[in-house]
Each structure stands twice: as structure tokens, then as C-alpha cells.
Amino acid sequence: MNMGENIPVHAIWLAQDDPKKNTAVKLSRRGDLTLHERFNKLPRRGIILEPLCGKVFGPEDHSILLEEGGSLVGLDCSWAQIEDSVEQVMRRTKLQGRMLPLLLAANPVNWGKPSKMTTAEALAATLYLMGREKQARRLLSAFRWGEQFFVLNKEPLDAYRDAESSAELVDLQFEFFDIERPQ
């Protein structure tokens, strides 16, 4: 895949929230991603963003999307039902689960909360970390708060994008966010 081609973006939609306010549904209507309500239609190869897996998406994962023809998949579910949703989805897919390093949400519901991102924010952040800034900005241009995500997270996004490994990414979080390091 050359640098000009867009990475295929998908989302599994578990219909746990209002479709009128759902970012994945909106992006699907715009043609920016493929929305799946059934697991059997999900791509077979790629990365699924799920915040509980414990493995941060890093440079070593880029080849899955760039060279191996994998897709980037967002898990669209309610934060209130995250544990059950992740378990349900990960039992039924061979996609590799990854989470994002800490970033601040810019969406109106969770504005300024670390990691409480919408599906659109998570997908855009992943694309940005891969150097696909144009595709990332296109996704978030659908929302009036979209550009604010990049403003709010400029320093960590740029630092994460330039990291050379997942381990470096994990360490960088502590420079930007006041969180406790695991012992």
C-alpha cells in the first residue's frame, strides 16, 4: 500500500446508544467507514481498537495495516457496557486487539477526559499515529468539535507518532498525563 492510499476503516456497531448521536453511524453515512452490525461481515485481518486489551497500538503494528492488507476496525459500544462488549466481540474475531495511548476526548459528552474517546476519535488518532493525518482529519471533519481533538492532543499525538516502539509510546504517556506508573 502506498502512502497515498487510504487505510480501510470499519466499525462494529453494537447499537447500544442513540444512532443520531453516534459517530460511527455518521461516518458510515458519509462513506468514510464501513459499518457492520454483524460479526461475520467484519474484515478477517487487521487491528480492532478496544480499550481493555492492555497492548498499545505502536509502530510494530503498522505493517498489519500497510503491508498485510489489514483493516482498521473500531469497536462502537457504550462506555457503560465496555467489558461485556469487548468480551462479546473478541470471542468472535481474529482481529488483533490494540488500545491507544492516553489522549483527551474532544467530544462534548466526555470533553477533556483521558481515553473516553468516541469511535471516530479513536480511529482518527490511530490513523494520525500512522502518519495518515489527512485521512484522520477527514474523519473528524464530520464533527464541529473534530478539529478540537487535534488541538487538544497536538503534543502527545506528535510525540506518539514519532515513537519507535509501543514501549516508548507507553512511556511517553507519563510525560503528558499525570497518571501513576504501574509498578
User: Residue 183: its pLDDT value, please?
Assistant: 59
For residue 30, give the 3-state DSSP assignment. helix
pLDDT value of position 181? 65
Domain count, the chain: 1
pTM > 0.85: yes or no: yes
In a domain, 88, yes or no: yes
Average pLDDT over residues 55-81: 90
In a domain, 38, yes or no: yes
User: Using 50, 70 and 90 to split pLDDT, how confident is the model at 4?
Assistant: low
Q: Is residue 82 assigned to a domain?
A: yes
Sheet holding 34-36, edge to edge: 34-36, 9-13, 71-76, 46-49, 96-98
Look at 19-28, 62-71, 125-134, 156-165 and tell me which has the smallest mean pLDDT.
Answer: 19-28
Domain that holds residue 103: 9-176
pLDDT average, residue stretch 40-44: 87
In a domain, residue 2? The reply is no
pLDDT tens digit sequence for 156-175:
999 999 999 999 999 999 88
In a domain, 40, yes or no: yes
CB 76 within 8 A of CB 22: yes
Q: How many other CB atoms sit within 10 Å of the CB of residue 123? A: 30
Would you state the pLDDT for residue 139?
Answer: 96
Residue 25 lies in a domain: yes
Q: Hey, is 113 helix, strand or coil? A: coil
The predicted-structure confidence for 82-123, as pLDDT tens digits, reads as follows 888 888 888 888 899 999 999 999 999 889 988 889 999 999
Task: Evaluate whether residue 148 is within a structural domain.
Answer: yes
